[in-house]
Chain A
Amino acid sequence: MSSGIAFHPGLVLILGALALPFLRGIARNVAVMLFPLAAMLLLWQLPESVVWQCQWLGYAIQPLAVDRLSRLFATIFILMAFGGGVYALGQPSRMELPAAFAYAGSAIGVTLAGDLITVFVFWEMMAVGSTLVIWSAGTKPAYAASLRYVMIHLLGGMILFAGIAGHLAGGGDAAFGRMATDSVSHWLILIGFLINAGAPPLSAWLPDAYPEASWSGTVFLSAFTTKAAVYVLLRGFPGTEVLIWVGLFMAFYGIVYALLENDVRRILAYSIVNQVGFMVAGIGIGTEMALNGAAAHAFAHIIYKALLLMSAGAVLHATGRRKCSELGGLFHSMPLTTICGSIGALAISAFPLTSGFVSKSMITQAASVGHMLTVWLLLGAASAGVFLHAGIKFPWFVFFQKDSGLRPADPPSSMRWAMILFSFLCIALGVWPEPLYRMLPYPVQYEAYTAAHVLSQIQLLLFSGLALFIMLRWLQRTPTITLDVDWLWRVLLPALARRIGAALAVLQKHLVGMGGGVAKSVTASVTCGRAQQGMLVRTWSTRGMAMWVMVMLAAYLVIYYAR
């Protein structure tokens, strides 16, 4: 451990999380804003090199290593901790903010880890922090969802651990760098990463658990786990072709399920999977432009997704409702929330002059430059689909459509300011992308605002909107859910377990019955032998004994010679 002033920005938030429960009132509010600011300051003072290193069990451990990619992700995670912290200032749960800060600090720890062992440690801390955030909601469904959530993440952590252990045992270096999918252990690492990204087949953990957190908890949850997974995929597996198809699957899965969904926050949760799909596909394409695009998209996405969930959280906070079929017409009394939510919706749809446009178009452009026609077409269709489910469906059903008669007011000032800050960032990044482009891992030779880009994107989006409004009747909300793979571990496996349990119970009964019978007959025969004058108890005559001994010896002799 060297370098005097260098301190780990993630640890600032984790230590801050330990201090927060002891603070009250204004001191606490100031601390909530100060810890992320301090972390940001420290982060940008760190040189681009390995800052902390040590030896442990013969492995070179680098708990603090900085390069362009890690700094980009650490920056957005700290920014998110700040914005989310401000938004959650009025959260009555005393556990949620500390848990969220520990969670954010661990995510920053993952991005600043130079070796796989440190990655794993922070990875598991993220699972704990996020589970605590879900618990803070304090409801029964949240508790049940958190158990399912932590089960999947512990499974993912185990797979990741097996992969890392295999990698090290196979003579691999502990350093976290690019890996090829050439061995079982590297595949295990990839699978461990993908589980946290919300990739199939276990993707349902995300829309199952995130919407159950409190109105502010979901805002934190939306940012860290999946984007830390995007970061480790960017570092470990760029250009791995299978990721293109995994990513495209995620993009369409998210759209289709979000279109069917009635719960506002579950729509937005499915849309996280959809957005991470774009990033994963970009990582799979693997050119410098695609990787830049994936990284930039993660950065932009964290801001607008948090903004969308803040506006949904404001509605939940004010009305206690989160179903489209029970909402509508809120623009009358929540103008600020409506505007901020709509800005988030435009940004996620990658409308020109918003952050999504300058980031996502890099990924599609990379597919285009690489002459990947199928990938390019599918990315285009998925972009149109984002506008459908998040760009229009979310604001339409919540803030407009038929009037629900609800007239809640805009939320308290801490929540309003957080939404205003993130709305500002969505537009600022869209209008002036250069600062973001300068932070990207590779030099950017990309011009987002050409007349051709702008026109084709506007055409694509507006005609998607036309399709939606023409087919609106097909999308009328019903109080339904759509079964997802979590059905396997919520219904099928428990049913199987009950069935097998019942079968075992029957078997046990039979065995006990049978065993009872056997035991009875054994006892009977033993008693019979040992009873008075029984075979084993009665006195034998000396003559008889001598004769039996002779018979035995003779038999022995015969066997001896016959051998």
Chain B
Amino acid sequence: MSAPSHWLDEPRNVKRLWRGFLALLALTVAAELAVALHPHFAIEALFGFNALYGFGACAVMIIAAKGIGLLLKRRDSYYEADDE
């Protein structure tokens, strides 16, 4: 069952996907040189704003979720006694 049977199971291919992804990221930022973005706000005019903002916002949300999780996480059997 666990024998690699699909091209996605090959670590080599996963590495290739990663490289492709990183190249794509670089490409989208570089494309800003060619495309006029018509910013509405001053902050939007910064080079690579959407890239930075997307990355930063997600990092903040993951950390915030982790913090809330520290307080509010429970075993998933937590409510089971009540549902009887």
**Cβ–Cβ contact B40 & A463, under 8 A:** no
Interface residue? B38 (CB, 8 A) = yes
Smallest CB separation, B66 vs chain A (Å): 6
* Neighbour of A474 across the interface among B9, B51, B66, CB < 8 A: B66
Q: How many A-B residue pairs have CB under 8 A?
A: 157
**Contact status of A388 and B58, CB under 8 A, knowing A140-B83, A452-B37:** yes
Bitwise interface map of A from 233 to 257 toward B, beta carbon under 8 Å scored 1, else 0: 0000000000000000000100111
Chain A residues with Cβ below 8 Å from B76 are 262-263, 323, 479-481
**Cβ–Cβ contact B62 & A474, under 8 A:** yes
Bitwise interface map of A from 385 to 396 toward B, beta carbon under 8 Å scored 1, else 0: 101100000000
Smallest CB separation, B75 vs chain A (Å): 6
Interface residue? A332 (CB, 8 A) = yes
Smallest CB separation, A106 vs chain B (Å): 28
**Cβ–Cβ contact A385 & B57, under 8 A:** yes
**Cβ–Cβ contact B61 & A385, under 8 A:** yes
**Cβ–Cβ contact A141 & B83, under 8 A:** yes
CA of A377 to CA of B57 in the docked complex: distance in angstroms?
Answer: 10
**Cβ–Cβ contact B73 & A381, under 8 A:** no
Sort chain B's interface into a size bin.
35 or more
Smallest CB separation, A547 vs chain B (Å): 76
Interface residue? A466 (CB, 8 A) = yes
**Cβ–Cβ contact A491 & B28, under 8 A:** no
CA of A76 to CA of B38 in the docked complex: distance in angstroms?
Answer: 34
Interface residue? A371 (CB, 8 A) = yes
CA of A262 to CA of B69 in the docked complex: distance in angstroms?
Answer: 12
* Neighbour of B79 across the interface among A263, A369, A381, A490, CB < 8 A: A490
**Cβ–Cβ contact A381 & B40, under 8 A:** no
**Contact status of A388 and B83, CB under 8 A, knowing A260-B69, A455-B32, A482-B72:** no
Interface residue? A14 (CB, 8 A) = no
**Cβ–Cβ contact A459 & B28, under 8 A:** yes
Chain B residues with Cβ below 8 Å from A458 are 28
Interface residue? B50 (CB, 8 A) = yes
**Cβ–Cβ contact A332 & B6, under 8 A:** yes
**Cβ–Cβ contact B41 & A460, under 8 A:** no
Chain B residues with Cβ below 8 Å from A452 are 35-38
CA of A470 to CA of B42 in the docked complex: distance in angstroms?
Answer: 29
Sort chain A's interface into a size bin.
35 or more
**Cβ–Cβ contact B40 & A256, under 8 A:** no
**Cβ–Cβ contact A259 & B65, under 8 A:** yes
Chain B residues with Cβ below 8 Å from A1 are none
CA of A259 to CA of B65 in the docked complex: distance in angstroms?
Answer: 7
Give A483-500 interface residues, CB cut-off 8 Å to B: 483-484, 490-491, 494
Smallest CB separation, A287 vs chain B (Å): 14
**Contact status of A456 and B50, CB under 8 A, knowing A462-B28, A464-B58, A490-B79:** yes
CA of A491 to CA of B48 in the docked complex: distance in angstroms?
Answer: 48
**Cβ–Cβ contact A475 & B51, under 8 A:** no
CA of A263 to CA of B79 in the docked complex: distance in angstroms?
Answer: 14
**Cβ–Cβ contact B51 & A460, under 8 A:** yes
Chain B residues with Cβ below 8 Å from A529 are none
**Cβ–Cβ contact B82 & A494, under 8 A:** yes
**Cβ–Cβ contact B54 & A455, under 8 A:** no
**Cβ–Cβ contact B55 & A463, under 8 A:** yes
Chain A residues with Cβ below 8 Å from B52 are 463
User: Nearest CB to that of A143 among chain B residues?
Assistant: B83
**Cβ–Cβ contact A388 & B62, under 8 A:** yes
**Cβ–Cβ contact A384 & B41, under 8 A:** no
**Contact status of A459 and B48, CB under 8 A, knowing A388-B61, A467-B59:** yes
Chain B residues with Cβ below 8 Å from A480 are 69, 73-76
CA of A405 to CA of B75 in the docked complex: distance in angstroms?
Answer: 24
- A387-B58, A491-B79 are known; give 9 further A-B pairs, CB within 8 A: A260-B68, A263-B76, A380-B54, A403-B2, A455-B28, A459-B32, A462-B21, A480-B73, A482-B73
Hey, which bits of chain A sit against chain B, CB under 8 A?
A: 140-141, 144, 252, 255-257, 259-260, 262-263, 323, 331-332, 368-369, 371, 373, 376-377, 380-381, 384-385, 387-388, 400, 403, 405, 407, 450-452, 455-468, 471, 474-475, 478-484, 490-491, 494
Can you list 8 A-B contacts with CB-CB less than 8 angstroms, sorted by A residue number?
Answer: A255-B61, A256-B64, A256-B65, A381-B57, A460-B50, A468-B58, A479-B75, A482-B74
